[in-house]
Chain A
């Protein structure tokens, strides 16, 4: 089984007086087909870890290999390209463009990585079918429920056929029924071979993952429950 990503001794220090150490030596490996949950209270370094994993931020020191390629020494341009083509983002507040139809929103995936318009449309239709919104193409996001909006955002992330689906508090704005439907969708995607990394503070969401890691004060620790389940964390 190949690694999707591997963090080794990653530090991220923000220049301030005194300097703020958000990540203090994180080691993490995610393999293809993993379904991993990262849990932690606010202020624990979750956001910073998300930004580093999503190639939106660069570690101060340490190594971050994505599909075998070292990203910390990449040019900004290559890193942006890698982010656009290999990582799908799902956010707590969906970040749908409210004035564009569902189909147009999903078609944004792949816009900046050179996928032709017709191909993006085909892929978007397929992705919407995959998340169960094949009948909502012409709707504006404002007319959808929270759960449906998050499904649209997941479809958008899937259009580029990413190696990693990076989800930041994907159920933070949803009620329990919608949360359940989104988590069911994650299970389906997992079954279909997708690699999922979910950052959350919600224990029920984390419990659905294959394994959990806990982040506290910028350090990764294996949760007791997860450690009992398996010991694959390096």
Chain B
């Protein structure tokens, strides 16, 4: 017999029981629909999530300056260099500070009373900084004010405390002009910082912050050790390349730059994570659909025992019967795939409209979904087709039709 004849038989078998066929197709519709929807939504949402990452962390850069090799060696970055960075297009704030070396924090106390029964000295990091720390670390002030260029210029002995440092020293208010004694030297507290805004810059929250001039005078903190930069959205990669040159024109490669990961990489990573999860969901529902087809096709085979017997009596070989049922389930899968892909794309567009997102629809996915549906139908039909082919025509033919 001709292949065309077999196809005609299969297609008319699909159309024979419209209600059952629609029910069966519904299984594939759910599966393919879920697949296309989840993939589409995840692509769209991935875009969105990555956009939020861009807006916050992808604008923060930290430059670490190595400690000078010798006592008299010139500093790698001079105190005037941060102004060069501030002039770069795309930089919103830049702050630089020197700090007490790691592990050699200075004793700080909040009053001058000598009480031998209590330990009142706290070992805290001390920063000598420019006047732009709140902006460059996205911090607010919980109380008082930060020192300004005038304090720096006049070498005023003033201090601003990080919130954790203030808590440790027991200072909560500054209207009574409290003083802190750092390594025995008095500084007037003029402000307390709020919670840190940059998770990559925890040090200022725990530190006593002095104008760099005053810190160099009294404590010998020395040259810049850290430069914190914030940039406009999307400028981080460019500024990360330009900042070392602006800071240390003689030896830009000596600086260590911590820039956020490339936004494209970040977006792909996030979108990949979400897609992977949702893809599994989609595949699971596709398997459910396949089981549904297998189940219903099996029922159909049982119900059409007499027809199978008749076809066998008419000279159909086992493989004719098997191929007919395989084609039937494949056609059902194909129809489900086409309707499911269309429904999925509509769902992506509808969800995007509701959320005011830009829908991302993969053309290849839409085109291959019907084929995936057909493949699911084919695989699901394997067992029922095998059962149909094995069926003995003998008994079926004598029973009622």
Q: Which residues of A does B touch, CB under 8 Å?
A: 47, 50-51, 54, 56-57, 77, 80-81, 83-85, 89, 91-97, 99-100, 104, 108-109, 111-114, 116-117, 160, 168
CB of A89 within 8 A of CB of B12, answer no
Q: Mark B316-344, 1 if CB is under 8 A from A, else 0.
A: 11001000000000000000000000000
Contacts of A100 in B (CB 8 A): 12
Q: Tell me if B218 is interfacial: C-beta within 8 Å of chain A.
A: no
Contact check, B9 vs A111: say whether CB atoms are below 8 A apart. yes
Q: Does B394 contact A (CB under 8 A)?
A: yes
Minimum CB–CB distance for B312 against chain A, Å: 7
- A112 with B397, Cβ < 8 A, contacts A95-B306, A99-B12, A100-B12 known: no
Are B314 and A84 within 8 A (Cβ)? yes
On whether the beta carbons of B314 and A112 are closer than 8 Å, the reply is: yes
Given A99-B16, A117-B2; A112-B401 close (CB under 8 Å): no
Q: B5 contacts the other chain (Cβ, under 8 Å)? A: yes
A93–chain B nearest beta-carbon distance, Å: 4
Task: Count contacts on B: residues with CB < 8 A to the other chain.
Answer: 28
C-alpha gap A114/B1 in the complex (Å): 4
* B33 in the interface (beta carbon within 8 A): no
**Docked-complex contact A57 and B9, CB < 8 angstroms:** no
B401 in contact with A85 (CB, 8 Å):
no
Indicate whether B121 reaches chain A with its CB closer than 8 angstroms.
Answer: no
- Closest beta carbon of chain B to A41's beta carbon, Å: 15
B307 at the interface (CB under 8 A from A): yes
- Chain B residue contacts of A50, Cβ below 8 A: 398
Besides A56-B394, A112-B316, 19 more A-B contacts (Cβ < 8 Å) are: A57-B394, A80-B312, A80-B315, A84-B315, A85-B315, A89-B314, A92-B398, A93-B306, A93-B401, A95-B306, A95-B307, A95-B309, A95-B401, A99-B15, A100-B12, A108-B311, A108-B314, A109-B314, A112-B314
* Cβ contact of A77, chosen from B313, B317, B394, cutoff 8 A: B317
B103 at the interface (CB under 8 A from A): no
Residues of A within 8 A of B316 (CB): 80, 84, 111-112
Could you tell me the distance in whole angstroms from the C-beta of A51 to the nearest C-beta in chain B? 5
* Beta-carbon nearest neighbor of B8 in chain A: A117
A111 and B5 in contact, given A47-B398, A56-B393 (Cβ under 8 angstroms): yes
Q: Which residues of B contact A97 (CB under 8 A)?
A: 16, 307
Give the shortest distance, in Å, between B181 (CB) and chain A (any CB). Answer: 99
Residues from chain A with Cβ under 8 Å of B5 in the complex: 111, 117
B1 adjacent to A111 (CB under 8 Å):
yes
Interface check B399, CB cutoff 8 A: yes
Closest 7 A/B residue pairs (Cβ):
A84-B315, A112-B315, A99-B16, A93-B401, A95-B310, A112-B316, A89-B313
In the assembly, what is the distance between CA of A193 and CA of B306, in Å? 30
Chain A residues with CB under 8 Å of B401's CB are 93-96
Contact call B397/A89, Cβ cutoff below 8 A: yes
**Interface residue from A56, A99, A116 paired with B2 (Cβ < 8 Å):** A116
Mostly, the B contact residues are helix
B116 within 8 A of A: no
B74 at interface, CB cutoff 8 A: no
Smallest CB–CB gap between B303 and chain A, Å? 12
User: Does the CB pair A95–B315 fall under 8 Å?
Assistant: no
- From A108, A113, A117, A168, B397 is in contact (CB under 8 Å) with A168
Closest to A86 in B: B315
A112-B399 in contact (CB<8A): no
A80 and B12 contact, CB distance less than 8 A: no
State whether A56 touches B315 (Cβ < 8 A). Answer: no
A187 → B minimal CB distance (Å):
24
Q: Cβ of B398: which chain A residues have Cβ within 8 Å of it?
A: 47, 50, 91-92, 168
Q: Which residue of B lies closest to A100 (CB)?
A: B12
Contacting pair A83 B315 (CB below 8 A): yes
**Cα distance A80–B1 in the bound complex, in angstroms:** 14
What's the nearest-Cβ distance from chain B to residue A147, in Å?
16
| B313 in contact with A83 (CB, 8 Å) | yes
Write the nearest CB–CB distance from B310 to chain A, whole angstroms.
4
Considering only CB atoms, which chain A residue lies closest to B18 in the complex? A99
- Determine whether B199 belongs to the interface, using a CB cutoff of 8 Å to chain A: no
29 contacts between A and B (CB under 8 A): A47-B398, A50-B398, A51-B394, A54-B313, A56-B312, A56-B394, A80-B317, A83-B315, A84-B315, A84-B316, A85-B315, A89-B310, A89-B313, A89-B314, A91-B310, A91-B397, A93-B306, A95-B306, A95-B310, A95-B397, A97-B16, A99-B12, A100-B12, A108-B311, A109-B314, A111-B5, A113-B315, A116-B2, A117-B4
A168: chain B residues within 8 A (beta carbon) = 397-398
Flag if B1 contacts A112 (CB, 8 Å): yes
Q: Is the CB–CB distance between A111 and B393 below 8 Å?
A: no
Interface membership of B400, Cβ < 8 A:
yes
Interface centre among B5, B307, B314 (most CB of A within 10 A): B314
Q: Which residue of B lies closest to A48 (CB)?
A: B394
Name the A residues within 8 Å of B4 (CB-CB): 117
- In the complex, chain A residues whose CB is within 8 Å of the CB of B397: 56, 89, 91, 95, 168
Complex Cα gap A97–B304 (Å) = 10
Q: How far is the CA of A112 from the CA of B317 in the complex (A)?
A: 8
